């Protein structure tokens, strides 16, 4: 009995112990709820700033939509209302307390929404989700504001300060807000607004440039609207058929003062003209095919173009500015003739029908012919010299054939480019009992002492050759075994029996041995000389090594290395087992060359 009577006492004692524990748990739960309520009320009583943003269109924005910066929520739309007199809408946005710095002067707000255009896709995430506001912060030290004017088009997000400019045009040519500003195909800004001026006479294009200060907000800067243009003289802007129009820019003075307003060009300007060219004036009684962009040809090769056409100041004649490329300015002398060779000449006689035309391109777009006499050509001319422009050429002009060396604007005045020749070395080998042909191609330089300079690898004998190896150059064929050769390093010089009549040999006196890397031109015919600065060349054991980033032409075997400072030949490109070597002239060849005066 005693044991059974102790059981209730034990239960009573356990109940007394559990009761304080249960009370403690309720107390902890109450404290947690109180802390949560305090945090909620603290957030409620300490909200972020309220800002107001004005837009022309709401694009479906509604209360509850978010304000985001770089994909992070930094505020919420609390109210959207129509402005008085129906002038637009006003959006009330509550910023989070950590985003207070967004409410500074210079911050830009826009509504992100789906956009599908030929040149961009944007806001596609809002097709399924809600629209939202985005922001580009202004300067961190700017004054705080509460009222902002929103941007109607989404902006490109940039981390640096921007420059806002205004460009005025007579026509908009389909330019749209959001179209890029481009320089040489690279985006440097974007169009943020397009509107008519107060007099409805001009179109004002406002653009943001992605830099401050911007090199495109300087005196002399040119802006134009790039769009498709098709004419008889040029086809340009075709990329805008797919990508849309854009605002193109050409920078002006690099160190000038900042200006923020420009008069736009209604037509794209003539491309930049390289330095060293020659600009002369052609005068004619009528236009006779003179149009901007028409090429000027010498023996069918384009050597320049027409850059402008206008009436003379007294309206008695037509004047055209003709630009000659630097390499061909030596062709223009006082007695040079220019004429119209556009279209074709159709004549019918007893012997039949005669059709004369320079080329199909001349019929379509026209061209200007040019010729210089071999006898008494006159002195070289300078910029601004005036020539008479003829409607058609005299028959004698077409027979003129003067020997005038052409050079490069990268070389000193009066120094002509050399005249390397294409050479072929061929032979046959026997394989599996059958003959098989082999060939090497490269460039060689004929010297005035009846020697031929070329890469060693081009002339290298092949032990497997049968019946010898043959050298073909200038339409002549020689047996390599009959030509004495002097090999020095990666170059060779062959003693030739004679110099062909139709070749202009290079003076041996203009071969030079460089003491250290210097600025050179890499040259092969048919290509513009490629400049290589000395810093891209290193000298190793008396030879030059070209930086790997420097491109070499496909027909690189035998390409000449011409010194920029005096036009001397310093060496050649030699390719050995697909490795490019810059082989230099050997001193022994200089000492053996005849003494002649320098050019």
- Tell me what pLDDT residue 354 has: 55
Q: Is 70 contained in some domain?
A: yes
Same domain, 320 and 245: no
Same domain, 37 and 103: no
**Residues 569 and 506: beta-carbon distance below 8 Å:** yes
Is the pLDDT reported for residue 239 higher than 50?
A: no
- Tell me what pLDDT residue 558 has: 92
User: Which of 24-33, 246-255, 289-298 has the weakest average pLDDT?
Assistant: 24-33
What whole-number distance in Å separates Cα of residue 339 and Cα of residue 171? Answer: 36
Same domain, 32 and 57: no
Domain count, the chain: 5
Q: Is 416 contained in some domain?
A: no
- Tell me what pLDDT residue 172 has: 86
Is the pLDDT reported for residue 380 higher than 80?
A: yes
Same domain, 86 and 184: no
For residue range 423-436, what is the model confidence (pLDDT) as tens digits?
Answer: 999 999 988 888 88
Q: Is 271 contained in some domain?
A: no
Q: 446-485: b or e for each residue (b if 16 or more CB lie within 10 Å)?
A: bbbbebbbbbbbbbeeeeebeeebbbebeeeebebeeeeb
Confidence class for position 563, pLDDT limits 50, 70, 90: very high
What whole-number distance in Å separates Cα of residue 453 and Cα of residue 494? Answer: 7
Same domain, 431 and 577: yes
Does residue 92 or residue 364 have the better pLDDT?
Answer: 92
Is the pLDDT reported for residue 331 higher than 80?
A: yes
Domain end marker among 236, 263, 290:
263
Torsion of CA 495, 497, 498, 500, to 10 degrees: -90
For residue range 432-467, what is the model confidence (pLDDT) as tens digits?
Answer: 888 889 999 999 999 999 999 999 999 998 888 888
- Tell me what pLDDT residue 128 has: 45
Q: Is 349 contained in some domain?
A: yes
Tokens at 483, concatenated: 């030509």
- Tell me what pLDDT residue 512 has: 93
Same domain, 178 and 114: no
- Structural domain range at position 118: 50-149
Q: Is 155 contained in some domain?
A: no
- Tell me what pLDDT residue 158 has: 53
Tokens at 50, concatenated: 């309220």
Same domain, 516 and 372: no
What whole-number distance in Å separates Cα of residue 328 and Cα of residue 375? Answer: 19
For the residues 255-274, what does the mean pLDDT come to? 79
From the number of C-beta atoms within 10 Å of its C-beta (0-12, 13-18, 19+), residue 243 rates as middle
Is the pLDDT reported for residue 334 higher than 90?
A: yes
Q: Is 274 contained in some domain?
A: no
User: Which of 170-179, 408-417, 421-430 has the weakest average pLDDT?
Assistant: 408-417
User: Which of 16-30, 70-84, 481-495 has the weakest average pLDDT?
Assistant: 16-30
Confidence class for position 125, pLDDT limits 50, 70, 90: very low
Q: Is 120 contained in some domain?
A: yes
Residue pointed to by tokens 């003539």: 270
Same domain, 431 and 545: yes
Q: Is 598 contained in some domain?
A: no
Q: How far is CA 516 from CA 412, 508, 534, 541, in A?
A: 20, 21, 9, 11
- Tell me what pLDDT residue 238 has: 45
Confidence class for position 272, pLDDT limits 50, 70, 90: low
């Amino acid at each position: 009995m005693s044991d059974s009577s102790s059981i209730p006492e034990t239960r009573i004692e356990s109940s007394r112990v559990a009761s304080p524990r249960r009370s403690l748990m309720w107390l902890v739960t109450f404290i947690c709820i109180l802390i949560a309520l305090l945090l909620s009320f603290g957030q409620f009583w300490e909200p972020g700033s309220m800002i107001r943003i004005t837009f022309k269109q709401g694009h479906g924005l509604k209360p509850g939509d978010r304000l985001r910066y770089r994909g992070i929520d930094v505020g919420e739309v609390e109210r959207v209302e129509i402005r008085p007199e129906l002038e637009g809408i006003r959006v009330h946005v509550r910023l989070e307390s950590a985003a207070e710095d967004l409410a500074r002067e210079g911050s830009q707000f826009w509504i992100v929404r789906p956009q599908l255009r030929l040149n961009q896709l944007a806001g596609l995430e809002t097709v399924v989700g809600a629209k939202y506001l985005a922001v580009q912060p202004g300067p961190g030290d700017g004054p705080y504001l509460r009222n902002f004017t929103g941007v109607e088009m989404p902006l490109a997000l940039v981390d640096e300060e921007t420059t806002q400019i205004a460009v005025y045009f007579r026509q908009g040519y389909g330019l749209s807000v959001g179209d890029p500003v481009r320089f040489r195909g690279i985006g440097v800004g974007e169009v943020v607004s397009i509107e008519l001026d107060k007099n409805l006479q001009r179109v004002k294009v406002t653009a943001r440039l992605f830099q401050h200060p911007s090199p495109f907000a300087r005196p002399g800067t040119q802006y134009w609207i790039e769009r498709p243009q098709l004419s008889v003289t040029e086809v340009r802007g075709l990329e805008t058929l797919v990508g849309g129009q854009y605002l193109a820019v050409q920078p002006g003075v690099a160190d000038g003062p900042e200006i923020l307003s420009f008069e736009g060009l209604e037509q794209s300007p003539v491309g930049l003209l390289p330095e060293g060219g020659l600009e002369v004036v052609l005068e004619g009684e009528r236009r006779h095919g003179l149009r901007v962009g028409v090429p000027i040809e010498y023996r069918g090769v384009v050597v320049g173009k027409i850059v402008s056409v206008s009436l003379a100041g007294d309206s008695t004649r037509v004047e055209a500015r003709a630009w000659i490329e630097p390499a061909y300015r030596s062709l223009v002398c006082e007695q040079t003739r220019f004429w119209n060779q556009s279209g074709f000449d159709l004549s019918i006689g007893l012997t039949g029908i005669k059709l004369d035309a320079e080329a199909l391109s001349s019929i379509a777009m026209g061209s200007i012919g040019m010729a210089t006499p071999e006898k008494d050509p006159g002195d070289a001319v300078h910029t601004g010299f005036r020539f008479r422009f003829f409607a058609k050429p005299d028959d004698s002009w077409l027979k003129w054939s003067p020997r005038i060396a052409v050079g490069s604007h990268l070389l000193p005045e009066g120094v002509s480019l050399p005249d390397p020749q294409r050479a072929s070395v061929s032979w046959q080998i026997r394989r599996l009992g059958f003959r098989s042909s082999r060939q090497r191609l490269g460039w060689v330089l004929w010297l005035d002492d009846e020697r031929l300079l070329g890469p060693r690898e081009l002339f290298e004998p092949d032990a497997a050759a049968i019946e010898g190896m043959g050298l073909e150059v200038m339409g002549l064929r020689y047996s390599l075994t009959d030509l004495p050769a002097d090999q020095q390093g990666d170059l060779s010089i062959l003693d030739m029996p004679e110099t062909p009549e139709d070749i202009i040999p290079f003076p041996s006196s203009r071969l030079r041995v460089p003491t250290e890397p210097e600025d050179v031109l890499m040259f092969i015919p048919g290509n513009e000389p490629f400049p290589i600065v000395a810093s891209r060349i290193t000298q190793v054991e008396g030879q030059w090594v070209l930086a790997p980033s420097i491109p070499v032409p496909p027909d690189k075997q035998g390409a000449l290395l011409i010194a920029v400072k005096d036009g001397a030949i310093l060496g050649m490109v030699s390719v050995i087992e697909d490795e490019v070597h810059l082989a230099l002239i050997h001193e022994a060849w200089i000492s053996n060359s005849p003494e002649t005066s320098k050019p």
